[in-house]
């Protein structure tokens, strides 16, 4: 199979299109024919070792001291199940799926084998109203955004500011905060503000022209994805019992945040999502009912992954950069399981009106439960026992 192999730390020139062996699924795995993947900021940071000194040392110890061991990057994907292991029960051949690879990476390739159930990665049936490219743009950013916003507590009626709102996580964070009833302020560069308004932001701020920490406005929740504002300034822009979400903190930022949180009862929350499959199922339900959509900035073919990395390195990306592994834009709805009342959802995610108010926390959990049952029905049709999604 063809894959983009990572051969050296540093610039994108260390990424090469090569022929590598096609993997075979183990007993509990499925092999997926990848149709689309993405280039995320995390892929670029890992490639270039753009981390603190301590984390750079740890990455080298894990992946190779002088150069990475042969490694295929790529954290998220959408594709079709091509074969299943003898003990795999949740999916059947032909199912359209999307998900994350966790720290195993491996999505910059034509094929990928993943366990049906494992911690630190997610795998679910694909939204019936999305193309493979659209679905590939959802998992990592959507899961991270939902992970943080959920930990902030009920959002209805609260003022939420998202710093770095124009990236892969931020675009989903804007939509999710708005969906659950928040008044949303989005901060990013001028070129991304129109897309942020289209995704539901009530207010937008061009960070190059205005510092949100100096406006005299306070917020109940600040979700700092960019990490570009000072901890003290952001804490000063919180209400007395506000919540500060650190989306991409270094060790120093975490320590300063914890210290600052002792003042006036403010909470500081950090830590990446474990990417549970049930959360991905929940995002799929929002997509299929027209309440969440993917924002794609640019598309590249697999052979041009190095060029895609160069573009992401510029920091100008608004949404997600998608890589088409198979040049087939066909939708996966014919193989996607779901209950009958979901089969008539919108053909394209952008054609449904946005909800102006969101459901309560209780109804959110009921929505997840309903989607678990829908997945179980699809799995039973395949002759297996429903697993945990």
| pLDDT at residue 54 in the model | 86
Asked if the model's pLDDT at residue 294 lies above 50, the reply is yes
Asked whether 118 and 146 are in contact (CB, 8 A), the reply is no
Asked if the model's pLDDT at residue 8 lies above 90, the reply is yes
| pLDDT at residue 386 in the model | 29
Asked if the model's pLDDT at residue 202 lies above 60, the reply is yes
DSSP annotation string for 33-99: EEEEEEE-HHHHHHHHT-S-HHHHHHHHHHH-SSS--SB----EEEEEEEEE-TT--S--TT-EEEE
Separation of alpha carbons 170 and 283, rounded Å: 15
Residue with the bigger pLDDT between 369 and 314: it is 314
Q: Which two tokens stand for residue 211?
A: 């510092």
Asked if the model's pLDDT at residue 108 lies above 80, the reply is yes
Cα-Cα end-to-end distance for the chain? 29
How does pLDDT run across 270-289, given as a tens digit for each residue?
A: 887 889 999 999 999 999 99
DSSP annotation string for 233-297: HHHHTEEEEEEEEESS--HHHHHHHHHHHTSTT-EEEE------HHHHHHHHHHHHTTS----EE
Asked if the model's pLDDT at residue 135 lies above 80, the reply is yes
Asked if the model's pLDDT at residue 374 lies above 80, the reply is no
Q: Which two tokens stand for residue 115?
A: 């366990």
CATH 3.90.180.10 placement within the chain? 2-138+295-381, 140-270
Residue with the bigger pLDDT between 330 and 184: it is 184
Asked if the model's pLDDT at residue 334 lies above 70, the reply is no
pTM: 0.81
Pick from 41-55, 242-256, 373-387 the range whose average pLDDT is largest: 41-55
Average pLDDT over the chain, rounded to whole? 83
| pLDDT at residue 383 in the model | 36
Let me know how many helices (H) and strands (E) the chain has, helices first.
11, 15
| pLDDT at residue 229 in the model | 81
319: left (phi over 0), alpha (psi -120 to 50) or beta: left
Statement: 140-270 belongs to CATH 3.90.180.10? yes
Separation of alpha carbons 146 and 148, rounded Å: 6
H or E element in which residue 19 lies: strand 15-19
CATH topology of domain 2-138+295-381: Quinone Oxidoreductase; Chain A, domain 1 (3.90.180)
Q: What is the signed CA dihedral for 279, 103, 311, 307, rounded to 10 degrees?
A: -130
302 phi/psi in degrees, rounded to 5: -55, -40
């Amino acid at each position: 199979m063809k894959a983009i192999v990572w051969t050296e730390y540093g610039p994108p020139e260390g990424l090469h299109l090569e022929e590598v062996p096609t993997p075979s699924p183990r007993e509990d795995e499925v092999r997926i024919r990848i149709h689309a993947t993405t280039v995320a900021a995390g892929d670029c940071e890992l490639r270039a070792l753009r981390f603190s000194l301590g984390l750079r040392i740890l990455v080298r110890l894990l992946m190779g001291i002088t150069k990475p061991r042969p490694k295929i990057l790529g954290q998220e994907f959408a594709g079709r199940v091509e074969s299943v292991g003898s003990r795999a029960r949740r999916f059947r051949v032909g199912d359209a799926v999307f998900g994350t690879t966790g720290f195993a990476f491996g999505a910059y390739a034509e094929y990928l084998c993943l366990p049906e159930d494992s911690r630190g990665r997610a795998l679910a049936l694909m939204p019936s109203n999305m193309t493979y490219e659209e679905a590939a743009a959802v998992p990592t950013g959507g899961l991270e955004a939902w992970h943080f916003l959920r930990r902030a507590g009920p959002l209805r009626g609260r003022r939420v500011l998202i710093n770095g709102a124009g990236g892969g996580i931020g675009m989903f964070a804007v939509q999710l905060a708005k969906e659950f009833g928040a008044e949303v302020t989005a901060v990013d560069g001028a070129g991304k503000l129109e897309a942020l308004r289209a995704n539901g932001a009530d207010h937008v701020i061009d960070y190059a022209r205005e510092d949100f920490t100096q406006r005299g406005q306070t917020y109940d929740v600040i979700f700092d994805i960019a990490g570009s504002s000072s901890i003290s300034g952001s804490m000063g822009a919180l209400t007395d019992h506000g919540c500060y979400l650190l989306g991409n903190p270094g060790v120093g930022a975490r320590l300063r945040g914890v210290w600052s949180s002792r003042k006036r009862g403010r909470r500081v929350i950090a830590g990446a999502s474990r990417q549970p499959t049930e959360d991905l199922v929940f995002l799929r339900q929002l997509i299929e009912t027209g309440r969440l959509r993917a924002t794609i900035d640019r598309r590249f073919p697999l052979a041009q992954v190095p060029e895609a990395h160069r573009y992401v390195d510029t920091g100008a990306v608004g949404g997600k950069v998608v890589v088409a592994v198979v040049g087939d834009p066909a939708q996966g709805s014919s193989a996607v399981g779901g209950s009958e009342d979901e089969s008539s959802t919108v053909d394209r995610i952008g054609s449904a009106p946005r909800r102006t108010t969101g459901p309560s926390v209780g109804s959110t959990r009921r929505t997840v439960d309903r989607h678990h049952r829908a997945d179980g029905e699809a799995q039973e049709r395949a002759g297996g026992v429903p697993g945990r999604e």
